[in-house]
Amino acid sequence: MCDETKLAEWASQTISRRHFGALTGAAALAACASGETAGQASTPAGLTERGVSFATPDGTMDGFLVHPSKGRHPAVIVWPDIAGVRESKRNIARKLASEGFAVLVVNPYYRDVAGEQFADFAAFIADGGFQKVGPWRRKLDAEAIMRDAAAIVDWLDRQEAVDTTRGIGTQGYCMGGPFTIWSAAAVPERIKAAASFHGGGLVRPGNPMSPHAQLAKVKAGLLVAIARDDDAKSPDDKQVLREVADTLGLTATIGVYDGDHGWMVSDSPAWNASAAATGEADLLALYKSALG
């Protein structure tokens, strides 16, 4: 998972902030060439987007909502990685909205701060982001995320753009990976698809709140997309998840992808366009089959 060792590796590979900016700029151009709206400055045609906020048991959560301008659509909850809400995550939401979904990117750190804290991963690394978010991140245990998920679903189901006759999907990156399973366990009657991309901590032996232990409460199709370097560190996790999913009769795609931790995110040093395209295709397949 994304930890201080991984960030140190990324930082050592970055000659300077300016150099990293050039790299992420190149990635953005490549993403645009492949259809991803990297660096989007305005709302794509046919979509409506806005910043939102709503009450939860723990305070006021904020986020970014984007959806087709007409009609009602299945909702999707996006849990960001450690760097939080930023343009790369808004672009993921915009691209998904263009496929016919009402997409909410939530701020997981709302208990402490509102809005964007880092413009991109380069800023996160350069500004000591891991240390900054540490106290915020420690509050994001299973119980907190499950409370949040219930409040998010309640809010989404009251939005005109959301089709409440269809299931809700949720996807998460890095630390957001386990949040998707906790969300699906918290609101199983509404969340019908959960996708974890290079998620950390999906298997926590001996912990009853471990995501793999919470699968017993889930009624959703699953996509667990594991980074190859994460798999090298924890090679047994995929088998544990497979066995639990099979025992419970869950529909689950669980596999190791041809990308390192962070490969799905366009401003990550590990971004991999080819592997990201595969992940996006698998995600759409999950949503189209599971959300009704």
User: Does the pLDDT at position 17 exceed 90?
Assistant: no
Query: Which segment of 39-53, 74-88, 154-168, 232-246 scores lowest on mean pLDDT?
Result: 39-53
User: Does the pLDDT at position 235 exceed 80?
Assistant: yes
Return the percentage of the chain with pLDDT > 90, whole number. 85
Picking from 172, 168, 227, 220, the residue whose alpha carbon sits closest to that of residue 196 is 172
Average pLDDT over residues 89-118: 98
User: Does the pLDDT at position 234 exceed 70?
Assistant: yes
From residue 20, alpha-carbon distances to 14, 15, 90, 120, 262 in Å are: 6, 7, 20, 10, 15
Domains of the chain: 4-36+49-290 (3.40.50.1820)
From residue 199, alpha-carbon distances to 102, 108, 159, 203, 225 in Å are: 23, 15, 29, 10, 8
Q: Which two tokens stand for residue 138?
A: 């420690």
- 164, with CB counted inside 10 A (0-12, 13-18, 19+), is middle
DSSP letters of the chain?
Answer: ---HHHHHHHHHH-S-HHHHHHHHHHHHHHHHHTT--TT--SPPTTEEEEEEEEEETTEEEEEEEEEESSS-B-EEEEE--TT-S-HHHHHHHHHHHTTT-EEEEE-TTTTT--S-S-SSHHHHHHTTHHHHHHHHHTT--HHHHHHHHHHHHHHHTTSTTB-TTS-EEEEEETTHHHHHHHHHHHSTTTEEEEEEES-S-S--TT-TTSHHHHGGG--SEEEEEEEHHHHHH-TTHHHHHHHHHHHHT--EEEEEESS-TTTT-TTSTT--HHHHHHHHHHHHHHHHHH--
The pLDDT assigned to 264 comes to 98
The label of the residue with tokens 């949720």 reads 170
The pLDDT assigned to 133 comes to 97
The pLDDT assigned to 8 comes to 56
From residue 144, alpha-carbon distances to 15, 147, 157, 175, 183 in Å are: 38, 5, 20, 14, 10
User: Does the pLDDT at position 3 exceed 90?
Assistant: no
Average pLDDT over residues 75-90: 98
Distance CA 172, CA 186 (A): 15
Whole-model pTM: value is 0.90
Distance CA 134, CA 180 (A): 20
The pLDDT assigned to 42 comes to 74
* Number of other residues whose CB lies within 10 A of the CB of residue 13: 12
User: Does the pLDDT at position 27 exceed 70?
Assistant: no
- 55, with CB counted inside 10 A (0-12, 13-18, 19+), is exposed
> How high does pLDDT run on average in the chain?
90
Picking from 79, 101, 245, the residue whose alpha carbon sits closest to that of residue 170 is 79
Structure confidence at residue 50 as a pLDDT band (50, 70, 90): very high
Distance CA 240, CA 234 (A): 11
User: Does the pLDDT at position 19 exceed 50?
Assistant: no
